[in-house]
Amino acid sequence: MALSHSHTPVQADRPVTVLGLESSCDDSAAAIVRLHGDGRVDVLAERVINQNSAHAPFGGVVPEIAARSHAERMDHLAREVMEEAGLDFGALDAIAATAGPGLIGGVMAALMTAKGLAIGSGKPLIAVNHLEGHALSPRLVEPLAFPWLLLLVSGGHTQLLSVEGVGQMTRLGSTIDDAAGEAFDKSAKVLGLGFPGGPALEKLAGAATDPSRFALPRMLARDPSCNFSFAGLKTAVKRSFDGLHTPSDADRADLAAAAQAAIAAHLAQRTGRAMDIYAQDNPQGRVLVAAGGVAANTAVRKALVKEADARGFRTLFPPLKYCTDNAAMIALAGAERFRLGRTDALDVPARARWPLDTGAAIADPLLGSGRKGPKA
């Protein structure tokens, strides 16, 4: 196990500039951010390259293809953002990279590139938990004060976390099988839509005339926790579709709307329960942040806002480019950690799984019940 390094925390009023690299799934990304003493963040340069066309024929992300693409792109992306920002390595305070969780071949691409750059430039290395990047992403757009409640909802993650500080997060709920984004993608695949499936399913759902005609199950209806489950919904969508003799466009649109409504309702109901629990300990910190690609879905947003408004919570949705995988959030997490004096040794490992709340993960290991399980 790698040993963490540390240094004296920097002066609170001194800006911190960090290069961040991200490659945990199928987006290759690099960015440079500058964190000011008052919490303001300048994104000096950013690049994201997706791999949708490479994975579309397979209906999902192929880890080997993703890893190869990341390995070919990461050093070029790092150079491009440095040039765009007009900086040399002497202007950086540190180099940050996602070190997990994620597809291990992909994670290694960004982390190994960052290690090489750190060695060559003499700058500190900061290994960032991808989930912490999402958790801190709202601070890219405003100096949001801790704490807040986070719903992290994407293709690989569905979690509810109390975000109390950098490296201080408490899990309130998580999926026990599949992530919400996977439910969107697999439902879209059943309906014959393209990849990525979430946006395609949302578009088709907009054409529905009778979304209530399909009776899809309420997941974990009698479970009192804040946990999620989407495996049964995926199965129900397939059975409903298979039960249609010759599915029409109207049939497909109605089923898409039903699936979307069921996902949104489940996310909102469990998040509402988490808000009730969170508010007991944080009566003044009533902010709900929703991050991850699924947080861009309009039906999901409306359902979350309704639950939040009923409880006096403000909702904050980072811009779409900071909801999906990006390097600006990784650079910011690195800057926050550098400011606190936290850096990492060059032998820090890449991790396929890396929970934010280790205590909860050990005491109640919810994930991985499926063949693959969510990344976290």
Which two tokens mark 6? 């540390």
Cα distance between residue 73 and residue 14, in whole Å: 32
**Do 205 and 285 fall within a single domain?**
yes
Dump pLDDT digits (tens) for 240-268.
999 998 999 999 999 999 999 999 999 99
Distance, CA of 267 to CA of 303 (rounded, Å): 8
CA dist., res. 245 & res. 229, Å (int): 29
Examine the domain organization and report whether 73 and 190 are in the same domain: no
- 333-347: pLDDT as tens digits: 999 999 999 999 999
User: Which of 15-24, 30-39, 57-66, 69-78 bottoms out in mean pLDDT, i.e. has the lowest?
Assistant: 57-66
Domain match, 126 and 217 both:
no
Q: Is residue 107 a part of any domain in this protein? A: yes
Nearest by Cα to 180 from 285, 290, 277: 290
- Out of 301, 317, 333, a domain closes at 317
pLDDT at 364: 66
Pairing of strands 287-291, 148-153: parallel
% the chain with pLDDT above 70: 88
Query: Which pLDDT belongs to residue 51?
Result: 54
Same domain, yes or no: 153 and 207? yes
217 shares a domain with 122: no
Q: How many domains does the chain have?
A: 2
**Do 68 and 20 share a domain, yes or no?**
yes
Residue 370 lies in a domain: no
Whether 365 is covered by a domain: the verdict is no
Q: What is the CATH number of the domain that holds 301?
A: 3.30.420.40
Mean pLDDT score across all residues of the chain = 88
Provide the whole-model pTM. 0.87
Which segments within the chain are labelled E, that is strand?
4-6, 16-22, 27-35, 41-50, 94-100, 125-129, 148-153, 158-165, 168-174, 287-291, 314-316, 342-344
DSSP secondary structure letters along 76-87: HHHHHHHHHHT-
How far is residue 153's CA from residue 134's CA, in Å, rounded to a whole number? Answer: 10
Claim to verify: residue 160 and residue 299 sit in the same structural domain: yes
Confidence check: pLDDT of 94 > 80:
yes
Local confidence band at 373 (pLDDT 50, 70, 90 cut-offs):
very low
The residue range of the domain holding 239 is 148-317
Report yes or no on 373 lying in a domain: no
Residue 1 has pLDDT above 50, yes or no: no
pLDDT bracket for residue 220 (50, 70, 90): very high
Q: What is the pLDDT at residue 365? A: 66
